[in-house]
Chain A
Amino acid sequence: MDLSPRPASEAAAPKARNRRKMLSIGLLLFVLLAGILVVSKFLTQSLDYYCNVDEVGHKDGCEAGRRLRIQGVVDKGSITTDNGVTTFNLTFNKVTVPVVYDSGEPGGLFQQCIPVVVHGVMKSGTFEGDDVEVKHSNEYDEKNKTRVATADAEAAACSQSK
């Protein structure tokens, strides 16, 4: 067996290897950029979690006939509960939709004047929901600083998204 070091027979070898390396780096960069482009395009156009109430029937993917998640603020004083069925009005951008929710008690921070997302189907002007999720804000403040301040904050939240 001959184990003596081989002479560097191909003078062009390092150059070719270099070119191959540059090629693979270039390819990797291309794949990366293309990937970012495709993923961001795909994501921006199909990953929105909900349709706002005013977009139902107007925006792509928010057609009234299909199963939707709609987002809006629960109208002040609109919540009524009767025999396990909760009804309330959901408003966004001056458009209001009545919601009927019959899957028990809405969980989380559900209350009036808070933005919520309701899963369900639009049926003859009423949204029949089977799932409610509360979308709270990124603003935090002390509880019961004064009763008036709390009431003011609530009123402001209620009028904000109308």
Chain B
Amino acid sequence: MATPDIETPATAAGTRAGTGTVFTRFIGLATIVGMVALGVFGLLLSPADVQQSDSVRILYIHVGTVWVAYVAFAFTALASAAYLWKRTTSLAWDRFAGASAEIGVLFMALTLLAGSLWGRLSWGKFWVWDARVTSTAFMFVTYVGYLAVRGLGGSHHQRARRSAVVALLAVLEIPLVHFSVKLWRGLHQDSSVADRTNVNLHGLMLFSLFISVIAFTLLYVWLMMHRQRVLAMQDAIDNTGLDYALQQRRDEGDL
């Protein structure tokens, strides 16, 4: 099996294989700066809420992480479409899709966790089965399923094709989750900033939320670069492993 589209950084003999580049280091640094800023604004500079007191600060984790989850799942769908568009072109798109979905699942878990803690403080319950919470849990499970489909085995292109179809279907859940608070009566509040004309958010709270979205997006990009390269290396190992096995059989034949 040929390995035409495997690019692993630092594969030259003798060098230490890694996934870092100048660009990822720059993004990593920016992420650290963003997270520190988020801590300062979220915990110190932004005020406590008139009704929720300090528990409102969970907002800066809850919204930032779910934003990343949405972006990650949308990018998974985009990369999957790109893979299917010209099937023979590149498995790189498939690895982008896979890496993005993994990060999305991670951040969706964080969203659920932060939301659950916030729910305990404001609703009085860790968990309720209202439309927003239920649809979010459903989406989380769907993408865990997507990752399972990726692991079913077969060739890399089989994996890519199967999972691309799942990704294109699963992405339809994003509008379902996002608009669930408008479509149905639930316990979860409506969004405060997205698709609204009147934003009822104190200035510094809004700014902290803005920093949260920036910082988490940077973290997503950083994780994405590294993870996608790790996946490329894994594919390369699969391929060279097969080549090695084939070579051994051929050698046996030569005897």
Contacts and interface: CB of A to CB of B under 8 A. Distances in A.
A154 B47 CA distance: 18
Given A47-B131, A140-B201, A133 B47 contact: no
Nearest to B203: A142
B250 interface: no
Choose among B50, B51, B128 the residue with the greatest number of A CB atoms under 10 Å from its CB.
Answer: B51
A137 B120 CA distance: 15
A136 B169 CA distance: 33
A138 B131 contact: no
Nearest to B198: A139
Contacts of B192: 138-140
A110 interface: yes
A49 B50 contact: no
Given A107-B124, A107-B125, A49 B186 contact: yes
B124 A132 contact: yes
B52 interface: yes
Nearest to B165: A28
A110 B124 contact: yes
Nearest to A44: B183
Interface string A25-65: 00000001000100000011001111000000000000000
A106 interface: yes
B202 A141 contact: yes
Contacts of B52: 109, 136, 140
Interface in B25-61: 47-53, 56, 59
Given A140-B192, A142-B50, A50 B185 contact: yes
A99 to B, nearest CB: 15
A32 B171 CA distance: 13
B49 A141 contact: yes
A76 to B, nearest CB: 15
A153 interface: yes
A142 B124 contact: no
Choose among A136, A145, A153 the residue with the greatest number of B CB atoms under 10 Å from its CB.
Answer: A136
26 contacts: A43-B131, A47-B131, A47-B184, A49-B131, A49-B184, A107-B123, A107-B124, A108-B124, A109-B122, A109-B123, A109-B124, A132-B124, A133-B125, A134-B124, A137-B200, A138-B191, A138-B200, A140-B52, A140-B59, A140-B200, A142-B50, A142-B202, A142-B204, A143-B48, A143-B49, A145-B50
Given A71-B185, A140-B205, 17 more contacts: A107-B120, A108-B122, A108-B124, A109-B121, A133-B125, A134-B124, A135-B187, A136-B189, A137-B189, A137-B200, A138-B190, A139-B192, A141-B50, A141-B202, A143-B48, A143-B53, A150-B50
